[in-house]
Chain A
């Protein structure tokens, strides 16, 4: 995992919870956004946009498929920051 992502893991989780409109206590690292947290495809696009804005980084649209859970978010963000 990218060092910045490790360091800002809590902040990322807060952002995810804000976008998905769920309480932080509800979200484990492997909970599925769509199946467990009722997110739809619009929410995932929103999440990708907020990650780009917060980290000032470009993430390929196809990466949405990997934004399945918190761990996926960390991976996608790490890959984008390392690129």
Chain B
């Protein structure tokens, strides 16, 4: 139940579509991106890798020797954003994740278990194994000293970071917040997802939104009109999600007939059906535009949220972004995209 005057003034993305805004927008328009063939010990045969992004090439050698891929992607995406807008060094960074870099955590444990001594591990990889690595690394690389927060929200991360960032703006704790989420592709993540029952083609990427107060002076791309989330305590998710949609519209004083676009968090399967059904139930019809970034860039886990918002930014008018996570959280954000 958050009422906000926050606006989105800039964005950036790195995904299988490429590095930067144009490749992602192009991929969404086209409706597809190239996936990569996997030949390692993976459970799947292909994944939507952000192949155009190489950590050492993008960031140099210094400080990247032990860096996890999630941190690299986040630093890269924030760099893309800051290359185009001038942001005060006191700006905050709020990033979403599922569990940080599963691969870095896995490798560390494997080394400890298989080498002659349990402490024959690379100490430099330890901070990269922590879930706050991506956000704090972004601060270090881009010299941003404001509030720096990591939220482990799974597929709800996009909505969670927007709500958290808006609160930082409302309370004056930051004048601007770089708000986004990141997920890497790795063998370790692929196996964890497989054991969780996931059968979707995985992807990786990072997307960032610059969130500022409405009066910050920069031309807004979109207004964040509201965020609603709930917990499906009874197990059934369609009802609570529809309730979120209904309430976000009601609180913003928006009629169901005014909503033109809907961005889904899931690519296919039960979740996508549920998301569409919940929105159609409230609107009384399918929205004019339905956007599904996950169909283009794969299942990017926690990172999907800001990609949904980025997709909506191409569709002027009122748009909804819905999200569902396996942990039983459901949510919806309402945006007014300015033309």
Show the binding face of A for B, using Cβ within 8 Å.
Answer: 18-19, 21, 42-43, 45-46, 49-50, 52-53, 56, 58
Contacts and interface: CB of A to CB of B under 8 A. Distances in A.
Contact of A21 (B65, B115, B116): B65
Contact of B124 (A46, A53, A58): A46
Interface of B: 61-65, 115-117, 120-124
Contacts of A58: 117
B37 to A, nearest CB: 30
Contacts of B64: 21
B137 to A, nearest CB: 14
Contacts of B122: 46, 49-50, 53
Contact of B65 (A18, A45, A49): A18
A52 B120 contact: yes
A19 B65 contact: yes
Nearest to A53: B120
A18 B61 CA distance: 9
Please name the 4 residue pairs, one residue from A and one from B, whose CB atoms are nearest each other, closest first. A46-B124, A21-B62, A53-B120, A49-B123
Task: Give chain A's interface secondary structure class.
Answer: helix
Contacts of B121: 49
Contacts of B116: 56
Nearest to B124: A46
Contact of B115 (A18, A45, A53): A53
Contacts of B65: 18-19, 21
Contacts of A46: 122-124
Contact of B123 (A18, A21, A45, A56): A45
Contacts of B117: 52, 58
13 contacts: A19-B124, A21-B61, A21-B62, A21-B65, A42-B123, A42-B124, A43-B124, A46-B124, A52-B117, A52-B120, A53-B115, A53-B120, A58-B117
Nearest to A23: B61
A41 B62 CA distance: 16
A46 B63 CA distance: 13
Contacts of B61: 21
B170 to A, nearest CB: 38
Nearest to B127: A42
Nearest to B66: A46
Given A42-B123, A42-B124, 17 more contacts: A19-B124, A21-B61, A21-B62, A21-B63, A21-B64, A21-B65, A43-B124, A45-B123, A46-B122, A46-B124, A49-B120, A49-B122, A49-B123, A50-B122, A52-B117, A53-B122, A58-B117
Nearest to A45: B123
Contacts of A43: 124
A38 B65 CA distance: 15
A36 to B, nearest CB: 15
Contacts of B63: 21
A19 B292 CA distance: 43
A56 B120 CA distance: 9
